[in-house]
Amino acid sequence: MTVPKAASITIEKIKQQAPQMAKELSVPPFWLTDWLLFVIGQPSSFLITDENYQLTDSELEQFNAGIIKMQQGIPLAYLTGEQEFWSLTFAVNEHTLIPRPDTEVLVETVLAWINAQPVAQSEQTIKKRLLDLGTGSGCIAISLAHELKLADKLKQIRWQVVAVDLSTEAIKIAQHNAVNNAVDIEFIHSSWYEALSTQDEQLFDVIVSNPPYIDEADEHLVRLVAEPMSALSAPNHGLADIEHIAQQAPKYLKIGGLLAIEHGFDQGFAVRQLFADNDFGNIQTVKDFGSNDRVTLGQLNKHPLKS
């Protein structure tokens, strides 16, 4: 592999070598230029305006160290420590999944559903609650809280966003991300619903989740070595956690409340079935940017344990 090692390496030189290096590393070419920009602390325009810039020894050392990490399967986001999602910036580390563009479909779907709900005329502010299960970096809860905060002012609805994760390390990152993105979220350390209350006033209007859903036998898991396996893969063909979330959701949702779950491209039918088996109606599956089934949503018909 040709890692640039010359003493006076320029941006132009790295740009020339980037396509070949990317091929050898099996990474997208933009990882190399984004990594370079991160190392030299410059905006992307610098790649065009300052091609003759020579990396300092320490910049070159850092650049090369990152290339070696990429070679070992470490994704760019773990090297830079951040990832863009929903036009916001999120800190990430090895305790959190790296937010994927497809998960924006989940955010978009939930917002569209919320916006389509009729709002009862009221003098008082209406309080609503949203839960994100397995929040990781917090990208879903924070993006939703960010949008709902803007909508709040118009509709007199005040959204309380609660996010849970089993990993205390992930919660630390998510808390940091909430502060950085100026949203107020209650983070709870919990295995799915375990630490939550089923009391009436604690019920949610919306439950959302991007749980682990990759089949443990899926060969594509070997390419995801750097991310927490507990956030990626689940037993029962990847459906075990989705099943648990759907089965327990009726205890924590208001009647008519929304459950929206991200899942694998080939799990749409099974997830719709799980929703139907657990008293959900208006069940639909939404496709991602690659036209694959990605998000299933439904509304709770009744409280089986309470009626």
Contact residues for ligand GLN (CB under 6 A)?
A: 100, 102, 210, 212-214, 232
User: Nearest Cα to 267, choosing from 300, 225, 234, 299?
Assistant: 234
Q: Specify which residues 287 forms β-bridges with.
A: 293
Assess contact for 97 and 231: CB atoms under 8 A. yes
Give min distance, CB of 232 to ligand GLN, in A: 4
Q: With beta carbons less than 8 A apart as the criterion, state whether 238 and 218 touch.
A: yes
**Residue 191 or 197 with smaller CB distance to ligand GLN:** 191
Name the minimum Å distance from CB 264 to ligand GLN.
7
> Is 226 or 283 the residue whose CB approaches ligand GLN more closely?
226
Partners of 209 in beta bridges: 133, 261
Cα of 267 vs its chain's centroid, Å: 19
CA-to-CA distance for 13 and 94, rounded, in angstroms? Answer: 31
Is 100 or 237 the residue whose CB approaches ligand GLN more closely? 100
152 or 218: CB nearest ligand GLN: 218
Least separation, in Å, of the C-beta of 24 and ligand GLN? 23
Closest CA to 131 of 278, 292, 40, 254: 254
Nearer to ligand GLN, 100 or 303 (CB): 100
Query: Can you say whether residue 289 is alpha, beta or left, with left for phi > 0 and alpha for psi between -120 and 50 degrees?
Result: alpha
Question: Could you tell me the smallest distance in angstroms from the CB atom of residue 26 to ligand GLN?
Answer: 15
Distance in Å, CB of 271 to ligand GLN, minimum: 13
**Distance in Å, CB of 80 to ligand GLN, minimum:** 19
Q: Which two tokens stand for residue 42?
A: 């410059």
Q: Phi first, then psi: what are they for 233, rounded to 5°?
A: -120, 145
Residue 15 or 100 having the CB closest to ligand GLN: 100
Q: Tokens for 88, please give them.
A: 């916001």
DSSP SS3 for 209: strand
What whole-number distance in Å separates Cα of residue 234 and Cα of residue 304? 27
The two three-digit tokens of residue 107, written as one number: 């955010």
Name the helix (H) or strand (E) containing 188.
strand 185-189
From the CB of 187, what's the least distance to ligand GLN, in Å?
Answer: 19
Q: Judged by CB, which is closer to ligand GLN: 101, or 256?
A: 101
Radius of gyration of the chain (CA): 22
Cα 299 to Cα 73: distance, rounded to the nearest angstrom? 40
Question: Cβ closer to ligand GLN: 55 or 214?
Answer: 214
For tokens 């990594």, name the residue. Answer: 35
For residue 291, the minimal CB distance to ligand GLN (Å) is 15
